[in-house]
Amino acid sequence: MVAGLSEVLSPSQVLAGSATHRTYDCDAYTVDRSAPTCVVLPESTEEVQAIVRWCNESSVPFTPRGAGTGLSGGAMPALGGVVVSTKKMSRILEVDLPNRCLLAQAGAVNIRLSQAAAPAGLHFAPDPSSQTVSTLGGNINENSGGPHTLKYGVTAQHVLQATMVGCSGEIVVLGSRVANGPESSLLSLIVGSEGTLGIVTEAWVRLTPLPKHVATALVAFPDSSSATQAVVAILEEGVVPAALEMMDFNIMQALRTAFGLEFPEEAGALLLVECDGEEPVNDELDSVLAVCRASGAIDVRVAQDEEERAKLWTARKKGIGAMGRLAPTIVTHDGVIPRTRLPEMLAYVYEKASEIGVGVANLFHAGDGNLHPCFYFDDRVPGTIEKVVAAGEEILRKCLELGGSVTGEHGIGVEKAGVWGHSLSPADRDLQMAVRDVFGVSGLCNPCKVLPDQKGCVEHVKRWRGAAT
């Protein structure tokens, strides 16, 4: 395989060997693993096309990969074969400031898009927590969100046109720099497709004006229940903040231990609220804070300048990193519920964690109802990882029961293929599978993800799980 691909690309663009196998056997979802035979590093759409054609001729599975920050195993080469890394496709090809859009290769890092547009007062709005490393291609395939999607929308609303190498190697360009035209929106199917319909190689994205005015506050509540009730009340008030993020007691503990951050002693939960706009937003923030106080807020800190604002955001941005102080292993889940069901859902999460005897911290996009329960434990204790995986699935079923979804931003990948697949009726499943027929999907393109239907996926589930323990 290495020899064959070295003829298609240059030998330095093909990686193999045990270090490669270990590095690329999973993404940031580490519970399941499966090693590739080799990894290729194309530099252009045409090179990706040559690789996909070679894989088709040789019947070898291929899996696209950006920065490997995915949290559901989407970049894991489930049936081995070739990992197509976009690492060397990181160029910004064109910045069209007057038309507020930008063309970049799939491997361009999210934050670099905003940096390229910043001098003109513009930015690329999707801001997943991984934005300093995650790539445009990964963001498109996972339809990434972030704290500011409450107001600005997820990646789908910011991608105008994408170039993709289809499963059999054809190059297609979907969408237009002028959005929402009469062409059927095949681009809507590509965004969020988790790399199962082809390999996105470049895209035009929308650039959004940076807000002229920003107001940020960190509000402390006695417990997570009053904080979640405040979230509902804020949105019922008719205010749509740019961000509305929640951190619970355990996150605060981790932040105190890891970074020496200080919070009011009697605080049981924090809400980070940000309002922004073209006009001053102090009134908007005031109405949010009034609602918070009415919901039982015990402390309010409003940022007076940019430095203070960055400091308030530290609590949100460093939360997951701080979790490392609590236990050696962390597994972050992702589920969505109508936000009015947040209090009920959080209670269920705490109950599950205590039932299996592990810790759980919650740091999440409260405004979107997008929960990220983060279990912390010691995976060297036999049986723990199995219990955590099982509890995660029960949480997802609870999300469905409350009318929500099994994933708000991490994707189905391999992690949730089972639990999501079981929630579909035969007709729902047919409707999903129809999408694959439109794009002529073969069994070779990122197999065993989203809706596993390739031979070997079921047997291999055991192998992945085996490799992880």
Partner 1 sequence: MMAVEEFIQAVALAPRVRLEGAGTKATFMKAAPQDCLTISTQSISGIVSVSPGDQMVTVWAGTLVSHLQQELATHGQALPLLDPNEFGKELAGCPGTVGGLLAANLPSGLSSQHGEPRDWLLHADVLFRGQQAQCGAKVVKNVAGYDVHKFLCGTWGQMAPFLQVTLKTCPIRALKGTSAVRLRAAALPVWILRTLPTLFDRVLEGAEGLVAHDRASCTLWSDVRPPTPEEGWIIGPAGQAWSDNLQPGLTRAAKLVFDPEDRWQ
Binding positions for partner 1, 434-463, rule CB under 8 A: 434-435, 437-440, 450-451
Give the Cα separation of 242 and 128 in Å (integer): 14
Q: Which is nearer to partner 1, 80 or 411 (CB)?
A: 411
Longest Cα–Cα distance of the chain, Å, equals 68
What distance, in Å, lies between the first and last C-alpha atoms of the chain? Answer: 29
| Backbone φ, ψ for residue 101 (5° rounding) | -150, 165
320 is an interface residue for partner 1 by CB under 8 A: no
Q: Which one of 47, 202, 276, 368 is in contact with partner 1 (CB under 8 A)?
A: 368
Shortest distance, CB of residue 7 to partner 1, whole angstroms? 31
- Measure Cα distances from 264 to 333, 412, 420 in Å: 28, 38, 40
Shortest distance, CB of residue 71 to partner 1, whole angstroms? 11
Shortest distance, CB of residue 9 to partner 1, whole angstroms? 28
Give the Cα separation of 95 and 117 in Å (integer): 8
Instruction: Choose the binding region for partner 1 from 4-12, 121-129, 310-318, 433-441 (rule: CB under 8 A).
Output: 433-441
Give the Cα separation of 117 and 46 in Å (integer): 27
23 is an interface residue for partner 1 by CB under 8 A: no
191 is an interface residue for partner 1 by CB under 8 A: yes
Binding mask 205-244 for partner 1 (x = CB under 8 A): ---------------------------x--xxxxxx----
Q: In terms of C-beta density within 10 A (0-12 exposed, 13-18 middle, 19 or more buried), how is residue 279 classed?
A: exposed
Q: Which one of 5, 289, 406, 444 is in contact with partner 1 (CB under 8 A)?
A: 406
Shortest distance, CB of residue 398 to partner 1, whole angstroms? 13
Shortest distance, CB of residue 270 to partner 1, whole angstroms? 21
Binding mask 155-174 for partner 1 (x = CB under 8 A): -xx---x----------xxx
Tell which positions 40-79 bind partner 1, by CB under 8 A. Answer: none
Shortest distance, CB of residue 141 to partner 1, whole angstroms? 10
Q: Which is nearer to partner 1, 121 or 338 (CB)?
A: 338
Helix (H) or strand (E) holding 112: helix 110-117
Shortest distance, CB of residue 390 to partner 1, whole angstroms? 20
Q: Spell out a b/e string for 320-334, using b for 16 or more CB atoms within 10 Å of the CB, else e.
A: bebbeebbebbbbbb
118 is an interface residue for partner 1 by CB under 8 A: no
Tell which positions 385-404 bind partner 1, by CB under 8 A. Answer: 403-404
270: which 2 tokens?
């924090």
Give the Cα separation of 449 and 451 in Å (integer): 6
Tell which positions 120-149 bind partner 1, by CB under 8 A. Answer: 142-143, 145, 149
Instruction: Tell me which residue of 230, 209, 331 sits closest to 272, measured CA to CA.
Output: 230
Q: Calculate ∠ Cα 422-167-450, nearest 5°.
A: 15
401: which 2 tokens?
């029961």
Yes or no: say if 204 and 211 are a contact pair by the CB < 8 Å rule: no
| Backbone φ, ψ for residue 256 (5° rounding) | -65, -50
Binding mask 81-100 for partner 1 (x = CB under 8 A): -----------------xxx
Q: Which one of 24, 313, 376, 420 is in contact with partner 1 (CB under 8 A)?
A: 420
Binding mask 322-361 for partner 1 (x = CB under 8 A): --------------xxxxx---------------------
Shortest distance, CB of residue 243 to partner 1, whole angstroms? 13
Looking at the DSSP assignment, which residues form a beta bridge with residue 445? 62
294 is an interface residue for partner 1 by CB under 8 A: no
Q: How many residues bind partner 1 (CB under 8 A)?
A: 74
Q: Which one of 202, 274, 409, 415 is in contact with partner 1 (CB under 8 A)?
A: 409
Instruction: Tell me which residue of 401, 469, 467, 440 sits closest to 35, measured CA to CA.
Output: 467
Residues in the chain: 469
Yes or no: say if 330 and 324 are a contact pair by the CB < 8 Å rule: yes
Q: Which is nearer to partner 1, 390 or 434 (CB)?
A: 434
Shortest distance, CB of residue 218 to partner 1, whole angstroms? 23
Yes or no: say if 186 and 154 are a contact pair by the CB < 8 Å rule: no
Q: Which is nearer to partner 1, 24 or 29 (CB)?
A: 29
273: which 2 tokens?
């609220």
SS (H, E, C) 397-411: HHHHHCCCECCCCCC
Please count the CA atoms within 13 angstroms of the CA of 359 that sit on its side-chain side: 19
Looking at the DSSP assignment, which residues form a beta bridge with residue 64? 84
Shortest distance, CB of residue 357 to partner 1, whole angstroms? 30
175 is an interface residue for partner 1 by CB under 8 A: yes
405 is an interface residue for partner 1 by CB under 8 A: yes
Q: Which is nearer to partner 1, 277 or 359 (CB)?
A: 277
Q: Which is nearer to partner 1, 216 or 407 (CB)?
A: 407
